[in-house]
């Protein structure tokens, strides 16, 4: 089945450590996105990538980094510079190009808790 | 800049009653509009989308939404609530075909037996 996988589902880290969240898709989508979800805040865009080896900052990119070396993969690193990293992180992907809006499909999310 | 306002962070309805979740948007161009549903500790699932075709959009699970340009609204409705509809609902807007979504803060729907 085609879809988006995020691992792990729950992640615990000590304060000051960097941590990398995995996102893989087998939908052959060009674009991938990372969102952060906090209670009562909705989803806020961290980074997105519309093509391999290229990505753009979203609204809350500070303290995060990404890479896009393969079409299928878009890992997110939460660095020690992120002031409040405990949150639910969601990855999404979509096609790009013409022919109507390219809707986003979401993974199941990773809940990161920093102790 | 585009933005979304969802009125009411929590809505409670009785089973069998009408569900109405409100969404107003701001956009400088004709928008694409979406409603997503999220169950606890899961990702988001698309309920329905408006992409400049019919203004009344039907989605999954009996939900529908009407795009009203004059009111800049895209409210979500369902005639009869089921217990399984209890979840968080997000309205989102995009101004371009390949542009990231901007989400509202969400409305948590509770259904009372």
pLDDT tens digits for range A72-92: 999 999 998 888 999 999 999
Q: What distance in Å separates residue A85's CA from the closest CA in chain B?
A: 17
Comparing A47 with B27, which gets the higher pLDDT?
A47
- Residue numbers in chain B where pLDDT is lower than 70: none
Q: Do B49 and A44 touch (CB under 8 A)?
A: no
Residue of A nearest to B4 (CA): A42
pLDDT digits (tens, 9 = 90+) for A56-66: 999 999 999 99
User: Left (φ > 0), alpha (ψ -120 to 50) or beta: where does B41 sit?
Assistant: left
Q: Do A100 and B51 touch (CB under 8 A)?
A: yes
| Burial class of residue A31, CB neighbours in 10 A (0-12, 13-18, 19+) | buried
Cα B111–Cα A104–Cα B34 angle in degrees, nearest 5: 50
* Distance (Å, whole) CA B78 – CA B47: 12
Confidence band, pLDDT 50/70/90 cuts, at residue A103: confident
| pLDDT over 80 at A105, yes or no | yes
Q: Looking at residue A44, what DSSP letter applies?
A: E
Confidence band, pLDDT 50/70/90 cuts, at residue A98: low
Q: What distance in Å separates residue B15's CA from the closest CA in chain A?
A: 25
- In chain B, which residues have their Cβ closer than 8 Å to the Cβ of A100? 51, 97
């Amino acid at each position: 089945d085609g879809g988006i996988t995020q691992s792990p589902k729950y992640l615990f880290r000590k304060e000051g450590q960097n941590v990398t969240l995995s996102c893989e898709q087998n939908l052959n989508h060009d674009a991938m996105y990372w969102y952060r979800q906090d209670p009562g805040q909705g989803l806020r865009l961290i980074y997105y990538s519309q093509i391999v080896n290229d990505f753009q900052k979203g609204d809350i990119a500070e303290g995060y980094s990404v890479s896009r070396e393969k079409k299928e993969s878009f890992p997110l690193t939460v660095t020690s510079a992120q002031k409040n990293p405990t949150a639910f992180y969601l990855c999404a992907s979509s096609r790009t190009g013409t022919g109507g809006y390219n809707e986003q499909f979401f993974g199941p999310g990773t809940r990161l808790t920093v102790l | 800049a585009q933005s979304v306002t969802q009125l009411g962070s929590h809505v409670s309805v009785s089973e069998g009653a009408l569900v109405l979740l409100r969404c107003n948007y701001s956009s400088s161009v004709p928008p694409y509009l979406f409603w997503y549903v999220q169950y606890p500790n899961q990702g988001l699932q698309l309920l329905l989308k408006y992409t400049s075709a019919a203004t009344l959009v039907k989605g999954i699970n009996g939900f529908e939404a009407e795009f009203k340009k004059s009111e800049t609204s895209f409210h979500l409705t369902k005639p009869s609530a089921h217990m399984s509809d209890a979840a968080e609902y997000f309205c989102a807007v995009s101004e371009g075909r390949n542009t990231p979504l901007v989400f509202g803060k969400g409305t948590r729907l509770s259904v009372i037996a």
